[in-house]
């Protein structure tokens, strides 16, 4: 008999996933190298767009930006900030998604700068652009023995009434 370690997704799991995403200041981004097909992983600055979708501000000169331009499939790993204790017991969210260039409009830029005022220097550079990661699915590990599969809707902000 095979035991499935994935629990049924609960409202608490959805809330934790949204909290991790909303509070993220950085993440690990996984892309596929367009020349070799090999995984390419880097650390990026991360925030959320108005609907709660992951939003990155990336340089067009970076290898991961070129990779996303060639193949929009992307993976993100967002971990709870934890200075102490066993890293395997802290919550983390893995997101599989598709990266889409997002306009550098006034509202999006202003929201970004509210959380990261020092990013103004990057926003003023012509090669930097926003990339929206449209979630396809996710996996939340809320600690030992607490794994949940998530849909895109589980991770995004619920629609306003």
User: In terms of CATH architecture, what is 6-40+49-74+102-153?
Assistant: Roll (2.30)
What residue has token string 């902000």? 157
Mean predicted confidence (pLDDT) in 27-50: 97
Q: What is the DSSP string of 39-77?
A: EEEEEEEEEE-TTS-EEEEEETTSHHHHHHHH--EEEEE
Asked if residue 88 has pLDDT above 80, the reply is: no
Nearest to 24 by CA among 133, 151, 102: 133
Q: What is the pLDDT of residue 117?
A: 96
Residue 151 pLDDT class (50, 70, 90 cuts): very high
Q: What is the pLDDT of residue 83?
A: 63
Measure the CA–CA gap between 112 and 49, rounded to whole angstroms: 9
The model carries a pTM of 0.91
C-alpha count within 13 angstroms, C-beta hemisphere, residue 23? 13
């Amino acid at each position: 008999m095979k035991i499935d370690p994935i629990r049924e997704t609960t409202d608490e799991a959805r809330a934790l996933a949204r909290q991790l995403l909303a509070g993220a200041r950085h993440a690990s981004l996984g892309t596929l190298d367009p020349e070799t097909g090999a995984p390419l992983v880097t650390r990026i600055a991360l925030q959320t767009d108005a609907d709660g979708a992951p939003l990155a501000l990336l340089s067009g000169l970076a290898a991961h930006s070129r990779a996303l331009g060639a193949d929009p499939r992307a993976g993100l790993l967002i971990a709870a900030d934890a200075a102490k204790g066993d890293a395997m017991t802290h919550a983390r969210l893995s997101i599989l998604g598709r990266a889409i260039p997002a306009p550098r409009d006034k509202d999006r830029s202003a929201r970004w700068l509210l959380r990261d005022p020092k990013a103004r220097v990057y926003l003023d550079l012509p090669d930097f652009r926003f990339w929206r990661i449209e979630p396809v699915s996710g996996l939340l590990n809320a600690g030992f023995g607490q794994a949940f599969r998530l849909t895109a809707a589980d991770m995004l902000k619920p629609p306003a009434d």
